[in-house]
Chain A
């Protein structure tokens, strides 16, 4: 109980602190310290849940079970490593005059606030609060995306604000419909609490629930970046500061997907059909295919990896849509995608700073100027493209084999999309990493520990999933169904 309070209160308190002192020297260190404290609290919470099982606390408003505790731990971990990376990165940006001290304060404070909203969304039991936290996460990231205040970043942030605002409004309507259906069974108290809803889900009115799921899926799907509502994603990734791109890809998309999964569990229970699963499979498949063909046309390196994130979200959505063993694979893919993609963004951020541009054609010869950044980017890209022995290979392999078994028609489509993605991305990354250098070394020592820490974890997950982690995934996958 105290652990959960710490997980939520630490980022909030740090955000307030940084709102006051975020422009001073040492703000980056406070940011990291706060994130480290959150990580420690999240680890303690995880141990607590593993030993004592699920718990509901604070008037049943918060609820932690194997599914969300795993995401809380992941979020806290990536949050911490991103804060380590952001220290030197932001210092370079500040030196280049792209950011004033006031902006730096806004950045630090909003980064922690963003962490706080995501952790709240993950741990809450109340579907209404889940919505509020998701909306708050949108608003904080709008400020982060527009941090540079350049025309392009304002455009990206405005697009993000409007599109996600519209999307999330649909999700609220879906939440209202769930309340409407639940109120008839549960009465007014507890009609939005997930644990209560889960207990009576077979008594909920199927027509209302299926309609509610459509709205919730469209709403949270917009935030997940599902096609055709993915337009904001690549812009937001390209124009915001790189640490923000890393947490957007690595964490926010997961949280939005988590919201969909929670709703799917309720709808499956009420309908006893594969309605929600089918919908997730259809849109998941579309989301894998469409961005794969956009990849080769990208000129901006961060947009390139933004599109790659869309593709992977599609794959995860497809996996959860299939259910069963694939849910296990989906959870694993969520983990490895978060770790790999944030590692790639860390490397890309420094690469873009060395080259002074994000245009792929102007970034050349990274390996010669800085072998660590070059190899970090190369290995990260190989990992995200599903090369063995990295963890992404394992999860993609599991998703594909499940699909061969139950939905054989989908397998060639998935394989084609993955092949196209490989061809278009590998070529671009190869050009950036090798060749005659056009890049200059950095003024500050980059923090590359996070890159290799993440890639190391992904490598480990590809070779060996620790038994307790596997058990944990299995429990969570059982919850999802």
Chain B
């Protein structure tokens, strides 16, 4: 038996809401994750959820442009970037556990506070939302903020770049699911920038390693006043 209140909401929006919930869950999982390999897999899963939600929006609203952006998401976020990251990890032969600057429970608590902030900030917007998927813009903002938190609590270069990409995921989710798609040129541009950013990040890993014998950002911090 389906509860009666659910009949009012079409299946597609329910699925998008489910995707939104999964996005948030995965963002938290990434925040709590200590192992780099698992982190990459979580990032891949988040990319896949993003792909599914974009696909559903594309099919229900008949916007064929969005099909292309779903395709880009699939190729880039689910296949290409995780592959590159895996190869990098193998080449650098680093499978170490991630050290966090704050311990995990504290980070999680801050994360919860951030989600509350995000929902509060997004509330006036979700009330205006013409799209049925109201909560998504709040969730997208929460994902962005959680990725941001992950970036500042991690001390190694690889997790920082993954956090950077996860932030892009949250933004992409806001663009496609909450507003039903930005113009195609913009999405192409964003995808291109993410790709180039990743490549530059990858190049950097090698140089940082050469220079410092480690990928720990903290080692770089010479005393530099001012």
Contacts and interface: CB of A to CB of B under 8 A. Distances in A.
Given A126-B183, A154-B204, A155-B220, A132 B190 contact: yes
A208 B124 contact: yes
Nearest to B199: A139
Contacts of A303: 226
Contacts of A192: 182-183, 186
Nearest to A184: B130
Contacts of B200: 139, 142-143, 161
Contact of B178 (A131, A180, A211, A294): A180
Residue among A143, A173, A208, A234 with max Cβ neighbours from chain B (10 Å): A173
Interface in A160-195: 161-162, 165-166, 169, 172-173, 176-177, 179-180, 183-184, 188, 191-192
A136 B200 CA distance: 12
26 contacts: A126-B183, A128-B189, A129-B186, A135-B190, A136-B196, A139-B196, A146-B204, A150-B211, A151-B211, A155-B221, A158-B217, A162-B151, A162-B160, A165-B164, A165-B197, A166-B148, A169-B144, A169-B167, A179-B175, A184-B130, A207-B125, A208-B124, A234-B226, A294-B226, A298-B226, A307-B226
Interface of A: 61, 126, 128-129, 131-132, 135-136, 139, 142-143, 146, 149-152, 154-155, 157-158, 161-162, 165-166, 169, 172-173, 176-177, 179-180, 183-184, 188, 191-192, 205, 207-208, 211, 234-235, 294, 297-298, 303, 307
A211 B185 contact: no
Interface residues of B, number: 47
A157 B220 CA distance: 11
Nearest to B125: A208
Contacts of B181: 188
Contact of B183 (A128, A151, A155, A298): A128
Interface of chain B, main secondary structure: helix
Nearest to B152: A166
A135 B204 CA distance: 18
Contacts of A297: 225-226
Given A139-B197, A162-B151, A179-B182, 15 more contacts: A126-B185, A132-B190, A136-B196, A151-B222, A155-B222, A157-B204, A158-B208, A158-B217, A169-B148, A173-B171, A177-B125, A179-B179, A180-B137, A192-B186, A294-B226
B173 to A, nearest CB: 10
B128 interface: yes
B39 interface: no
A192 B222 CA distance: 43
A184 B193 contact: no
Contacts of B174: 173, 176
A211 B151 contact: no
Nearest to B192: A132
B176 to A, nearest CB: 10
Contacts of A142: 200
Nearest to A128: B186
Contacts of B193: 132, 135-136, 139
Contacts of B157: 158
B141 interface: yes
A235 B224 contact: yes
B226 A166 contact: no
Interface in B119-141: 121, 124-125, 128-130, 137, 141
A154 B207 contact: yes
Contact of B189 (A132, A157, A183, A298): A132
B99 interface: no
A158 B220 contact: yes
Contacts of A152: 222
B126 to A, nearest CB: 10
A12 to B, nearest CB: 14
B201 interface: yes
A473 B180 CA distance: 40
B150 to A, nearest CB: 11
B179 A180 contact: yes
Nearest to A296: B226
Given A128-B185, A294-B226, A297-B226, A172 B171 contact: yes
Nearest to B221: A155
Interface in B86-140: 121, 124-125, 128-130, 137
A72 to B, nearest CB: 20
B166 to A, nearest CB: 10
B72 to A, nearest CB: 14
Residue among B124, B193, B197, B224 with max Cβ neighbours from chain A (10 Å): B193
B226 A211 contact: no
A174 to B, nearest CB: 10
A173 B226 CA distance: 31
Interface string B190-215: 10110011001100100110011000
Contacts of B129: 180
A128 B190 CA distance: 9
A173 B186 contact: no
B69 to A, nearest CB: 13
A172 B190 contact: yes
